[in-house]
Amino acid sequence: MTSTALSDDGGLQVRRLGFGAMHLPTEPGPAREASVAVVRRAVELGVTLIDTAYMYGWGANEELLAEALYPYPDELLVTTKVGVAGSGPLDEARLDGRPAVLRAQVEQALRRLRVERIELLQLHRIDPRTPLADQLGALGELQAEGKIGRIGLSEVGADELDEARGMVDVASVQNRYNLLDREHEPVLAACEAAGIAFLPWRPVAWGESGARAEVAAVAAELDATPTQVALAWLLGHSPVIHPIPGTARIDHLEENLAAEGVHLTRAQRDRLDRLSEVALSAVSPVVTGEPAGE
């Protein structure tokens, strides 16, 4: 098991492989009980970074994590996100980075998670209708009040990251990124240069048949699964990458975490690197059958 400093100041030490809680069912009944069991098993297996957001069930996901894990182990970091508003279907959600909305969402997250301080709070999306200085200014004020430890961003470009860093210290970036979807390589490079943690969402994906065949071939050579190969590639691609694969099943959870024991040779890594040069016009959800999204 490997651990690194999530922030450049070394203040947050987490295991490289985290857990994304988005797809955990939260409705009462057996499905919720299974979700609680998955989260608790993740912590039992040494996961120290769990990612959630207000948008995931409009607070229900945060409440689920608190039910499953509170009081939290000292080494556990639960990070959440704000800046998306709504109450119904996700396709009706809207970006809302107005300072009053961000403050209200942070206050609500503190109550739902049962904490006095969120050690890492990420802006889920930049709201184009609200000046970025106002959005980050609100989070900075909450940080000064001790309600936020560190500020992160999600789904930003390199220019936006650079602009944001002129206003606040950015501890993390959470963008869509995986072996076959490397659109945000410039953002990753900027994070590497600045020592900013990069948390790829949708970290395991498959594309056209030729790309899948190459991943499957490497997996067969290593007696691993394609999912494990994709995660192992991420872990070796950059030291600032902290994948947060999500699942609602314990067997998939255990498969994901076992990826830390998969070691790609230089030749295998070169073969996988070349996949990004293939025109992937239809990247689809994760190998394990989990739904896409973030």
Give residue-wise pLDDT tens across range 174-202: 999 999 999 999 999 999 999 999 999 99
Please give the angle made by the CA atoms of 286, 291 and 294, to the nearest 5 degrees. Answer: 95
Q: Indicate if the pLDDT at residue 208 is higher than 70.
A: no
Q: Indicate if the pLDDT at residue 5 is higher than 70.
A: no
Residue with tokens 């996100």: 81
Going from N- to C-terminal start, the domains of the chain cover 3-206+234-262
* pLDDT at position 290: 40
* pLDDT at position 24: 98
Query: Of 56, 70, 72, 177, which is the active-site residue?
Result: 56
* pLDDT at position 1: 60
Nearest one of 208, 205, 201, 182 to 273, comparing CA atoms: 182
Which residue did the predictor score with more confidence, 4 or 40?
40
Query: Each residue of 145-178: b (16+ CB within 10 Å) or e?
Result: eebbbbbbbbbbebeebeebeeebebbbbbbbbb
Active site residue 72: no
Q: Indicate if the pLDDT at residue 209 is higher than 90.
A: no
Alpha helices in the chain (DSSP H): 30-44, 60-69, 99-113, 132-144, 158-165, 185-194, 209-222, 226-237, 250-257, 266-273
pLDDT more than 90, % of the chain = 83
Average pLDDT, stretch 118-123?
Answer: 98
Residue with tokens 């182990």: 73
Map residue 81 onto helix, strand or coil.
strand
Q: Which of 68-82, 204-218, 243-257 has the lowest mean pLDDT?
A: 204-218
Average pLDDT, the chain: 91
Instruction: Please determine, looking at this structure, whether the domain spanning 3-206+234-262 carries the CATH number 3.30.565.10.
Output: no
Q: Indicate if the pLDDT at residue 48 is higher than 90.
A: yes
Give residue-wise pLDDT tens across range 264-292: 999 999 999 998 776 343 343 333 334 33
Q: Indicate if the pLDDT at residue 54 is higher than 90.
A: yes
* pLDDT at position 273: 93
Cis peptide before 71 (omega within 30 of 0): yes
Which residue did the predictor score with more confidence, 221 or 293?
221
Q: Indicate if the pLDDT at residue 207 is higher than 90.
A: no
